Structure 1
Amino acid sequence: MFMSNWETPLNEKNADAGADRRTQLRDRLIDIAQETVAAQGLAGLKARDLAAAAGCALGAIYTAFHDLDELILRVNARTLARLELALDAAFVDAEAEQALEAMARAYLSFARKEEPSWRALFEHRLPPGAPVPAWYADARNRLFSRLDAPLAQLLPGKDATARAALARTLFSAVHGVIALGLEEKIAETPPKLLDEQLGVLIRLLAAGLMMESARLI
């Protein structure tokens, strides 16, 4: 069948317009989901409510995202980006212990300021067997990389792989103190006491790492 010269460009134009609409819908849904999580936590995120707020059909969500898990990960990626900025703003080019304590306190401040969004980072679970998307893993790993410089000061004999593993351990320790402190499940933890406990933890960890470094020399 003969195809006129203008048909292909028109089809391409329509395809571009459709892609633009999907992009706009994606951004709108992420914005709405982000606001919902910030106000109500992950439990407040419902597909029907999202569709109603975005002014789209329920099924349209799944033309913009593979599933609701992807949408949640996009929201969480934004939270990670804000946390990354907070850590960078707090980082001090000083002794390793001071740098670690500054970042730990920045993490605590972020958790207090954006608690529902912060909790969503850890409450969300992918279905069993579902892989973590590479783009999300990269965003998460960038946070751990912030710990590499001070750890390299404390443990100059450790290679990058060992420091990366240690960064995750250090993060887990700090996160555990903050999470339990904010939840007050073990004991009542006033803000001042939690601040003090965090400082003590970092100093103990730094001292232990320096002892480990001396042992390896």
Structure 2
Amino acid sequence: MSKALERREKLRSDLILAAERMIADRGLAGLKTRDLAREIGCANGAVYNLVADVDELILRVGSRTLLRLDDALSAAENAAVPSPRGTLVRIAIAYCDFAAENLELWRALFEHRMAADKIVPDWSIDDQMQPFRHIYKPLALLLPKRSPEELGITARSLFSAVHGMVALGLEQKLVAVPLPALRDEIAVLVRAMLDGLVARAD
């Protein structure tokens, strides 16, 4: 790799890390390319020599957030748990804890909207789908008669239910729920959903 290319890659990495810090501190709405350029020591226009546009920059930060989420879910999945139900409960609570600990970066995953005519790149879609495998595997053990397509839908439905509780529970308004209580309620919800799914499958 040439020196010029090395410098560009270093600057690009610095840009993504700076954007990550800015979103963590200010939220997605506080992301300003002029401030990023100043922080990494380049001209404002040079930012667009490092990434195609702000959408790509946000997606790159999102991929880093998703990778850390994936690590957290892997740790929950690999912990000593006696059953697929227990695994899914731990995964759900790990998701809640990750969101609470990385609130603005987690929110940015869902707040970011691209223009209707823009296509989300394949690398970003792949990164977004990775965490679902943690839900899919224990569900497959609980519901062995379901097809892969059915399991995929069930995994997304279970995620949506947990995500909704986390999103509302962590909202810093009237519906905010203390984290210990939110964790308990999520565990109750996941167990109830799984009991119902298994009962219907019998």
> Scaled by the length of structure 2, what TM-score is found?
0.94
Give the letter for the 1:163 counterpart: L
**Among the aligned pairs, what percent are the same residue?**
44
Unmatched 5+ stretches in structure 2: none
Give the letter for the 2:91 counterpart: M
What are the within-5 Å matches in structure 2 for residues 8-19 of structure 1? Answer: 16-19=2-5
**Distance (Å, rounded) in 2 between the aligned partners of 1:49 and 1:187:** 34
1:38 and 2:24 aligned? yes
Cα gap change, 1:184 to 1:31, in 2 (>3 Å): closer
Tell me the SS of whatever aligns to 2:131.
helix
Counterpart position of 1:58: 44
Counterpart position of 1:132: 120
**Distance (Å, rounded) in 2 between the aligned partners of 1:80 and 1:50:** 22
Q: Are 2:37 and 2:44, in contact at CA under 8 Å, matched by a contact in 1?
A: yes
Give the letter for the 1:113 counterpart: E
Counterpart position of 2:7: 21
Please report how far the alpha carbon of residue 203 of structure 1 lies from its aligned counterpart in structure 2 after TM superposition. Answer: 0.8
1:121 and 2:125 aligned? no
Counterpart position of 1:197: 185
Q: Are 1:90 and 1:103, in contact at CA under 8 Å, matched by a contact in 2?
A: yes
**Distance (Å, rounded) in 2 between the aligned partners of 1:208 and 1:196:** 19
**Distance (Å, rounded) in 2 between the aligned partners of 1:61 and 1:197:** 44
The number of equivalent residue pairs is: 200
**Distance (Å, rounded) in 1 between the aligned partners of 2:170 and 2:179:** 8
Counterpart position of 2:70: 84
Give the letter for the 1:39 counterpart: D
Unmatched 5+ stretches in structure 1: 1-12
Residues 151-190 of structure 1, C-alpha deviations (whole Å, 9 max, x = no match): 1112101121221122111111100001001116563422
Give the letter for the 1:138 counterpart: D
CA RMSD of aligned residues (A): 1.5
Q: Are 1:154 and 1:213, in contact at CA under 8 Å, matched by a contact in 2?
A: no
